[in-house]
Amino acid sequence: MPTIEHSFEDNIITTTIDRVLGWARESSIWPMGFGLACCAIEMMGTGAAHYDLARFGMEVFRASPRQADIMIVAGRVSQKMAPVLRQVYDQMMEPKWVISMGVCASSGGMFNNYAIVQGVDQVVPVDVYAPGCPPTPETLIHAIETLHGLIESNEILKRRAVTGAGAQFAIQHDHSASGVIEIGGRR
Ligand code: SF4
């Protein structure tokens, strides 16, 4: 006589709402089209047929931040571009994610000078860093899959709830003659 435990075999799974939400989110993150320098070529290559970001529900690069969930900062960030980058990030809907692609975006790379932001984490909160100059499509896909894991487990949102990451950054415009724009100021 079969027991109720074995009546449904593999036809039933149990999970939590959080887990389903995380799975749905990580399966359909649409990227903001935001290429800043040479790294963007590798990002475009990752979206093309050979690597095929459509496998991850990411083939739709959006031209509007209102429709984008992830910003891939592909390339060096100039001081002049930093406020623009932050404004685009602010216009994206929550929950939203950031991958810093390449050494230039992550740390300024070889551009250790006054014109380049020495790490885009001074402007927006970064979730995953993709190393390299430029990172290959395989490296970017690894970063995306790492982000998927963090989204599915809700790890990032839990961390943000505790630290407030993403809320404490501010762009301070200076309209004086020097034209200096300070980034990363605390609110
Ligand atoms: S990390 Fe290399 S490829 Fe990417 S923007 Fe910098 S110099 Fe260009």
pLDDT tens readout for residues 28-60? 899 997 789 999 999 999 999 999 999 998 888
CA distances from 105 to 44, 49, 61, 94, 131 (A): 17, 26, 20, 22, 10
For domain 15-186, is the CATH number 3.40.50.12280? yes
Domain boundaries, the chain: 15-186
Strand partners, 98: 71
Task: Check if 135 has its Cβ closer than 6 Å to any atom of ligand 1.
Answer: no
Indicate whether residue 47 lines ligand 1 (CB < 6 A).
Answer: no
Q: Which residue has the higher pLDDT, 47 or 156?
A: 47
Ligand 1 atom 4 nearest Cα: 39
Count Cβ atoms within 10 A of the Cβ of residue 143 and give its class: 0-12 exposed, 13-18 middle, 19 or more buried: buried
In sequence order, what are the residues at sequence separation of 6 or more whose Cβ sits closer than 8 angstroms to the Cβ of residue 65? Answer: 32, 88, 89, 91, 92
What pLDDT score was predicted for residue 129? 95
User: Which residue's CA is minimally distant from atom 6 of ligand 1?
Assistant: 104
Structure token digits, residue 125: 């909160």
| Threshold 0.85, pTM exceeds | no
Give residue 126 CA to ligand 1 midpoint distance, Å: 17
Pure H helices in 48-154: 82-91, 103-107, 137-152
Q: Is 19 helix (H, G, I), strand (E, B) or coil?
A: helix
* Mean pLDDT, the chain, whole residue set: 84
Nearest CA to ligand 1 atom 7: 133
